[in-house]
């Protein structure tokens, strides 16, 4: 058995197995991870709100649960993104305008996490309303890249990604409306799954005005991510979108242990949006992933980019209107950050006719792209068109349009698949020289086919494992913080 001082090096499933065997208790796991949060969170910005007392209380009560109530992640610490309501816990949506907001009802995803016996250590850091591809706000400041704290951790699930990469929790809840799971997964070296539209309920109060956003897992392994998706997945009454469930007796974790068979995979590396140059390191990652897939017996074929440049304008229109989903009186509106205000001002200028036309055009583009790739079992792209940038790169003191333009290279390959609703995963298959910075690659599955995507991702991880790369982060990441700041 791994000694208690190294519990954070275990995967989520290994931690749960240790609980089942009686080698460690949920309370031991929570205490260990809370100590790690106290040691590192101040330097890296993983959490907006910590809930140590609630976590300790929940962990102490878990052993009384009946065996039938115990999921594959029973007893495992996690974190909930602060865009999702948690009853009795401050939920700020990353905004000073909601600094005192305490919901009285859990989001359905939070209910499922509790029912599965996972224990939240707090609300993870996110940009205001989740509107940016970096994580920074006026409440606790930025989430910093665990591999180089001078760099951004990405967003909008940046806090969740930092927490998982540093071993503050083994898995974390996240959400993705344009790449917000996959962007920080690539930047922080994690597995991030954006599930199919309708796979995870956003109820009871989640916005569905565009159908872009979905909740999903961040983890250090495919199996852990699949296990958390099993916990989160499933519709609730009244949901506007339902993804078809797996056949009875099957699970996403089970598919992580199945061979995917020989697949036909299309690949492209030219963004749909004009004016974006893909960084050579991102292309290297994509090329190496292509070679790995071929070595595993899959057929990999070059395909044209299945989207046209017009989708950028459609997405911007939809995103601007969606940014208005949290109504505010004028006094609280002044508390918002410049980029958030810019999005909302733009959204107010969109007419109903323009919004309806943009959503209709998005649906048409999605249908064309799915038809164009329907002969493929998966599609391979870079996750990002750029490497991580400094925290200061996304400064909001200047022209918001400059900031928004700088974000475009981060979502060029991710946001189209929020439009189609297809499942997509970012895998940490590549690092820059000297294992300095991770560079993810994206695999996109057929509509509602997370099963094949997870089976393929698990096969890839087994062939080219990345677990050992975390040794430095899970030992003493603060050494790097001190060196960077000095």
**Catalytic residue positions?**
81, 156, 180
Give every CB contact of residue 246 below 8 A, 6+ residues apart in sequence.
252, 451
Tokens of 43: 């330097």
Nearest to 311 by CA among 274, 268, 269, 260: 274
Tokens of 101: 């907001």
Q: What are phi and psi of 296, to 5 degrees?
A: -90, 5
Neighbours of 360 (CB within 10 A): 11
Give the separation between CA 214 and CA 368, rounded to whole angstroms.
22
Long-range contacts of 292-297 (CB under 8 A, 24+ apart): 292/429, 292/460, 292/463, 292/464, 293/265, 293/380, 293/460, 295/463, 296/459, 296/460, 296/463, 297/262
Q: What are phi and psi of 337, to 5 degrees?
A: -75, 160
Neighbours of 265 (CB within 10 A): 21
Give every CB contact of residue 448 below 8 A, 6+ residues apart in sequence.
196, 199, 243, 244, 423
Strand order in the sheet with 119-124: 47-50, 119-124, 77-81
Structural contact between residues 93 and 129, judged by C-beta atoms closer than 8 angstroms: yes
Give the separation between CA 376 and CA 354, rounded to whole angstroms.
34
DSSP state of 318: H
Whole-angstrom Cα Rg for the chain: 21
Give the separation between CA 447 and CA 122, rounded to whole angstroms.
33
Structural contact between residues 62 and 119, judged by C-beta atoms closer than 8 angstroms: yes
Pairing of strands 191-194, 171-176: unpaired
Tokens of 413: 């390959």
Cα dihedral across residues 226, 435, 79, 339: positive or negative: negative
Neighbours of 485 (CB within 10 A): 9
Give the separation between CA 243 and CA 200, rounded to whole angstroms.
8
Question: What's the N-to-C CA distance of the chain in angstroms?
Answer: 38
């Amino acid at each position: 058995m791994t000694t208690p001082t190294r519990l954070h090096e275990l995967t989520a499933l290994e931690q749960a197995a240790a609980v089942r065997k009686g080698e460690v208790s949920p309370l031991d796991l929570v205490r260990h991870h809370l100590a790690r949060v106290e040691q590192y969170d101040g330097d890296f910005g993983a959490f907006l709100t910590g809930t140590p007392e609630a976590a300790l209380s929940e962990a102490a009560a878990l052993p009384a649960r009946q065996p039938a109530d115990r999921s594959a992640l029973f007893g495992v610490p996690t974190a909930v993104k602060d865009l999702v309501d948690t009853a009795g816990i401050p939920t700020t949506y990353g905004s000073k305008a909601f600094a005192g907001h305490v919901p009285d009802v859990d989001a359905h995803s939070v209910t499922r996490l509790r029912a599965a016996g996972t224990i939240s250590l707090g609300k993870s850091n996110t940009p205001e309303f989740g509107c940016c591809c970096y994580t920074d706000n006026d409440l606790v400041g930025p989430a910093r890249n665990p591999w180089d704290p001078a760099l951004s951790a990405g967003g909008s699930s940046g806090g969740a990604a930092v927490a998982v990469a540093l071993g503050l929790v083994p898995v974390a809840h996240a959400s993705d409306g344009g790449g917000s799971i996959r962007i920080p997964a690539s930047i922080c070296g994690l597995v991030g799954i954006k599930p199919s539209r309708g796979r995870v309920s956003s109820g009871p109060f989640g916005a569905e005005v565009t159908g872009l956003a979905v909740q999903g897992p961040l983890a250090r392994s495919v199996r852990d991510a699949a296990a958390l998706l099993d916990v989160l997945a499933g519709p609730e009454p009244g949901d506007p979108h339902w993804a078809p469930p797996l056949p009875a007796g099957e699970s996403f974790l089970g598919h992580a242990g199945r061979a995917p068979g020989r697949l036909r995979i299309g690949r492209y590396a030219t963004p749909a949006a004009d004016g974006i140059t893909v960084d050579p390191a991102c292309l290297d990652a994509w090329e190496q992933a292509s070679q790995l897939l071929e070595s595993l017996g899959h057929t990999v074929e070059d395909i044209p980019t299945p989207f046209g440049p017009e989708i950028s304008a459609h997405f911007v229109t939809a995103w601007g209107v969606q940014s208005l989903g949290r109504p505010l009186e004028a006094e609280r509106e002044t508390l918002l950050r410049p980029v958030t205000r810019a999005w909302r001002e733009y959204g107010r200028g969109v007419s109903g006719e323009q919004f309806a036309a943009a959503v209709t055009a998005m649906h048409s583009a999605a249908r064309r792209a799915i038809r164009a790739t329907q002969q493929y079992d998966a599609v391979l792209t870079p996750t990002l068109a750029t490497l991580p940038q400094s925290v200061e790169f996304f400064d909001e003191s200047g022209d918001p349009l400059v900031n928004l333009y700088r974000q475009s290279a981060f979502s060029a390959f991710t946001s189209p698949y929020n439009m189609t609703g297809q499942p997509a995963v970012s895998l940490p298959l590549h690092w820059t020289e000297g294992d300095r910075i991770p560079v993810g690659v994206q695999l996109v599955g057929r509509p509602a086919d997370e099963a094949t995507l997870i089976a393929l991702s698990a096969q890839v991880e087994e062939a080219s494992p990345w677990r050992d790369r975390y040794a430095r982060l899970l030992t003493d990441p603060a050494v790097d913080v001190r060196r960077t700041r000095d």
